[in-house]
């Protein structure tokens, strides 16, 4: 029995076998090893995206806390950025005393570089230091962040009480902050 196969079919069969061999070689040499690498990278991507979501959630929580603190303390934040004006301070608080003098102390140490130190001397015609306590309440409601340092010296002269103390005015100096950044 003689099989009559034309030359055309033999070429076509050889081409199909060559294509099949090349597809198999491509599959085993390229696709399968790259598929393993792809699965490893996909697992790493899932892990990284989960970690990213955790950090984004943490960032959002901290950001919400920051916004809440900023809204709750906006008066203090604006007080830090308000430049201290000694004349305005005297004008606002002279009603509590007969005389109010404010002198800036020039000798500032290393720890005092972010605020100004002022010596305050007052005189008032009072029989009790109540006006001084009203003055302290006024400082708490002022536009500046001020700390009154102890000791506060009271000295009685007949109907007058003289007081002297130092206070620190905390200020955010824009020029210093720009140089530090």
pLDDT in tens, 12-53: 999 999 999 999 998 888 888 888 888 899 999 999 999 999
- CATH no., domain 83-180: 3.30.70
pTM summary value: 0.49
The pLDDT value given to residue 98: 72
* 165, 151 Cβ separation under 8 angstroms: yes
Q: Which of 24-28, 30-34, 56-60, 177-181 has the lowest mean pLDDT?
A: 177-181
92 half-sphere exposure, CB direction, 13 A CA radius: 17
pLDDT band (50, 70, 90) for residue 58: very high
Of 139, 142, 141, 143, which Cα lies nearest the Cα of 152?
139
Which tokens in the block code for residue 34?
A: 């790259």
Q: Which two tokens stand for residue 38?
A: 């792809």
Q: How confident is the model at residue 19, as a pLDDT? A: 94
For the chain, which residues make up each domain, given as ranges? 1-72, 83-180
The share of the chain scoring above pLDDT 70, in percent, equals 79
Res 44: pLDDT: 95
Q: What pLDDT score does 165 carry?
A: 73
Phi, psi of 92 (to 5 degrees): -70, -35
Report the run of H or E that residue 142 belongs to, with start and end: none
Residue-wise pLDDT for 104-150, tens only, equals: 766 555 455 656 666 666 666 555 667 777 877 887 777 777 777 77
């Amino acid at each position: 029995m003689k099989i009559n196969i034309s030359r055309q079919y033999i070429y076509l069969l050889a081409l199909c076998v060559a294509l099949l061999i090349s597809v198999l070689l491509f599959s085993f040499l390229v696709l399968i090893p790259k598929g393993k690498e792809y699965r490893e990278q996909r697992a790493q991507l899932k892990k990284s995206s989960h970690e990213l979501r955790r950090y984004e959630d943490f960032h959002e929580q901290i950001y919400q806390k920051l916004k809440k603190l900023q809204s709750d303390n906006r008066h203090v934040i604006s007080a830090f950025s308000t430049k201290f004006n000694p004349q305005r301070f005297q004008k606002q608080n002279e009603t509590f005393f007969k005389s109010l003098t404010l002198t800036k102390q020039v000798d500032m140490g290393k720890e005092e570089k972010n605020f100004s130190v002022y010596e305050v001397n007052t005189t008032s015609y009072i029989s009790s230091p109540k006006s001084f306590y009203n003055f302290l309440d006024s400082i708490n409601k002022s536009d500046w962040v001020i700390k009154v340092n102890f000791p506060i010296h009271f000295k009685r002269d007949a109907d007058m009480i003289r007081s002297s103390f130092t206070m620190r005015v905390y200020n955010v100096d824009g020029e210093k902050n720009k140089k530090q950044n």
